[in-house]
Amino acid sequence: METFLVGVQEEHKVVETAYEGLIQSIRVSMDEKDRKNIREAYEIALKAHANQRRKSGDPYILHPIAVARICAEEIGLGPTGIICALLHDVVEDTEITLSEIENKFGVRVAKIVDGLTKLDAAYNAESHQAENFKKVLSTLIDDVRVVLIKMADRLHNMRTLGFMERHKQLKIAAETSYIYAPLAHRLGLYNFKTEFLDLCMKITDSEVYQNIAKKLNETKKDRENYVNKFIAPLKEKLNELGFAYRIFGRPKSIYSIWNKIRTKKVEFEEVYDLFAVRIIIDVPAEKERISCWQAYSVVTDVHTPIADRLKDWITTPKSNGYESLHTTVIGPGGRFVEVQIRTERMDEISEKGYAAHWKYKGISSQPDVYERWLDSVRETIENPSANAIEFLVDFRANSLFKEEVYIYTPKGDVQLLPAGSTALDFAFHIHTDIGYHCTSIRVNNKLVPFGKVLKNGDQIQVHTAKNQKPSEDWLKMTTTGKAQAKIRSAMKEERKRKGEIGKEYLERKLKNLKVEFEESLELILKVFDYKSSVDLYFDIATETRDIQDIFKRFHVDAGKLKEISAPFVFPELDKQAADKKTPVKPSEKPKLLVNGESAEQYEYSLANCCNPLPGDDIFAFLTHNVGLKIHRSSCPNAAHLMVNYGYRILSASWQQSNAEVNFIAEIKIIGVDSGPGVIEQLSHQISSQLGLNIRSMAIEGDEGYFECRLKIIIKNTDQLHMVIKSLQALDNISSVVRLD
């Protein structure tokens, strides 16, 4: 009893200290009332969560305190945001109601907490994550603070993810890299994005992560010495310029180093720019530009710049508002060093993005990039025709990752389109009707194909005709969500028209069976997994689905259609699976654990997209028709699957005894083409030297170099690494990598 009391008191102390830490981290000025309100919010949350604990065993209240602290410290939110962060899980998990919050803190706080609660509710339900994300964005245009607090919430959950079960970790990491990291990027929350990606990598590729972290740590001293040597002569000259500044070396994130290793196909030791040097200048607004260029000229006086490596994001900021001068110079010992030059204001915006942007509104001469972006988000959300998954895909493509191009109308008006937009996108951008009836397009007075990608400054003229209408292949000639949504909805109309006959057919059949139409239709849609009746009618009309086959699955019982419960494989889906020819049937089934138990009880197979091997991190995905598919955690499809079908993810791992099983690995070899001997050399090495079987080999050559894709039969990742090493050692081979 006594020890328990001591425990409670100690815990109390920990919580109180955390709260004080939060108060100290608040950067904005507050009056008495703000302080009182924050304290009150804290006490409400403390009481409400009194009996709850985190997975780690910590008192639950530490989570909202930590989230509020991230909001204060790393985003710079004021009292309202902090109060909302403290209360963000209260309505969801406890007895406190929204109206109590409104009475205490006013309507604004209640609204934000409500937004956060709705988001959480959506997450807990087993609905599609895409649907949830749509909600995230709808609240974003309402009050951006909802999303900023949600980001802080996600960041704290990611930081403490170690206590979760593996499959939940994977799912949350996938969602984070798929949605939250790009959104953080778009909102200019650079530090969030970097930390998100690092934390995701720590989960999906933990070995590589630890490895790089270790190497970074080992080389830390060297790096610091080098940075000092690089900076010293710069300081002398910068001091002469007469303004305040800070200069320091900044390590790059583990994720970005890994990215370099992967994309440039180099070893850690070959990645030179493990850090960047940053110069941050403190000058009044009117001196920003000139001071940055002065600093630039100091840098390039002292260290030789590399031609073409100057990036001027001060004159034209990035579309997420990022402003900075970047250059790469040759430092001591001939090493390339990236130098970033910016002002305190630019630095704050570059790290806190949208959150800092309000503070400096009107200071920068640049157009308001966030306002413009939010307008486009608004437009995407208000577009009703896209379903949630299409919406998410469009949104990622068009709103999160794209820059913009300036296009001129024949009258000389400027229109802003996402980079990568085509001539046909432009037609839809101007007006839906112009898009629908577009017959030909001229760019800079020349006729162009509809799919022509537009460049900055292009001038466009669209011609239309009344009887023209969109067709399926227009989807391929457009890239913007707007145009594609319009084309899809036109196609849907068309499908509907064509499906009329299928509908009649089905109606007649159900009438003959003397069952009620609506109810039976709903059951058929459910059993055959149709999203809408239009698709079913269309498939019946076009005989894609045989109506006789449909009714093989049902019988009539007491005037109602009933599903026959025997297991059933969709014939056409089965055919689809067979068409995607599996290159080799593994000699014996690999032995796996799914959710910690033997996988024998399931139907399962390895995914062809990423060909997992024993030694790879894996997970299982429950498919509609072919049981479990086993993917690598790093599979390029994994993020998409986890985000949209997170509830179908199961954790999986290899069992020890897979020595008798054959697996497939695909590798890419790039080398210098030394004549017809290349293929023999490679196949000799693999078959004779290593004693392995080649499944398939595709080789392509161009101007003295070749690229070879090779599928080999293999036992595990260790053996694969050995193969890669041994091929790398051959003459004329420049890189050997496993394909994702």
Residues at the contact surface with Mn ion, assessed by CB under 5 A? 89, 153
d(CA 68, CA 75): 10
The distance of Cα 452 from the centroid of its chain, to the nearest Å, equals 28
In the complex, the smallest distance separating the C-beta of residue 60 from Mn ion, rounded to whole angstroms, is 9
The active-site residue out of 58, 73, 92, 100 is 92
User: Longest Cα pair distance anywhere in the chain, in angstroms?
Assistant: 94
Round to whole Å and give the CA distance between 332 and 230: 7
Q: Cα–Cα distances in Å, from 637 out to 390, 492, 610, 634, 716? A: 16, 27, 9, 8, 21
Sign of CA dihedral 442, 446, 452, 454: negative
Minimum distance from residue 18 beta carbon to Mn ion (Å): 15
Q: Shortest Cβ distance from residue 63 to Mn ion (Å)?
A: 6
Please, what is the minimum distance in Å from the beta carbon of residue 655 to Mn ion? 37
The smaller minimum CB distance to Mn ion, of residues 153 and 617, is found at: 153
Quick check: is 114 catalytic? no
Taking the least distance from each CB to Mn ion, the nearer of 85 and 271 is 85
> Which residue type is seen at 233?
P
Written as one letter, the residue type at 3 is: T
Neighbour-count burial for 96-119, b at 16+ CB within 10 Å, e otherwise: bebeebbebbeeebbbbbbbbbbb
In angstroms, what is the minimal distance from the CB of 276 to Mn ion? 33
Residues 67 and 85 sit within 8 Å (Cβ to Cβ): yes
Q: Which is nearer to Mn ion, 89 or 425 (CB)?
A: 89
Of 153 and 616, nearer to Mn ion (C-beta) is: 153
Helix (H) or strand (E) run with residue 563 in it: strand 560-563
| CA-to-CA separations, 614 to 162, 541, 601, 611, 736, in angstroms, rounded | 23, 47, 20, 10, 20
* Closest distance to Mn ion from the beta carbon of 153 (Å): 4
- Nearest approach in angstroms of CB 151 to Mn ion is 11
Ramachandran quadrant class, 465 (left: phi over 0; alpha: psi -120 to 50; beta: rest):
beta
**Count of helix runs (H) and strand runs (E) in the chain:** 30, 23
Nearer to Mn ion by Cβ, of 96 and 515: the residue is 96
**CA–CA dist 24, 33 (Å, integer):** 17
The upper half-sphere exposure of residue 722, i.e. CA atoms within 13 Å in the direction of its Cβ, equals 12
What is the helix (H) or strand (E) element at residue 621, kind and residue range? strand 618-622
- Shortest reach from residue 158's CB to Mn ion, in Å: 12
Least separation in angstroms between CB 150 and Mn ion: 9
- Token reading at 574: 């089965």
Cβ burial of 517 (10 Å; 0-12, 13-18, 19+) is exposed
Q: Which is nearer to Mn ion, 117 or 480 (CB)?
A: 117
Catalytic residue among 40, 93, 143, 273: 93
Q: Closest Cα to residue 193, out of 278, 342, 74?
A: 74
| Cα dihedral 435→439→445→449 (10° resolution) | 90
Choose between 49 and 134: whose C-beta lies nearer to Mn ion: 49
Active site residue 93: yes
Between 89 and 338, CB nearer to Mn ion: 89
Q: Name which of 652, 655, 653, 669 is nearest 723 in CA terms.
A: 669
- Cα four-point dihedral sign 330, 334, 337, 342: negative
Q: Residue 170 is encoded by which pair of tokens?
A: 């994977």
What is the spatial distance between Cα 494 and Cα 488, in angstroms, rounded to a whole number? 10
Give Cα 550 distance to the centre of its chain: 39
Residue 54 CB neighbours (<10 A): 15
Query: Which residue has its beta carbon closest to Mn ion?
Result: 153
Minimum CB–partner distance for residue 75 and Mn ion (Å): 15
Q: Please identify, using beta-carbon distances, which residue of 87 and 540 lies nearer to Mn ion.
A: 87
Comparing CB distances to Mn ion, the nearer of 89 and 617 is 89
Indicate which residues carry an active-site annotation. 92-93
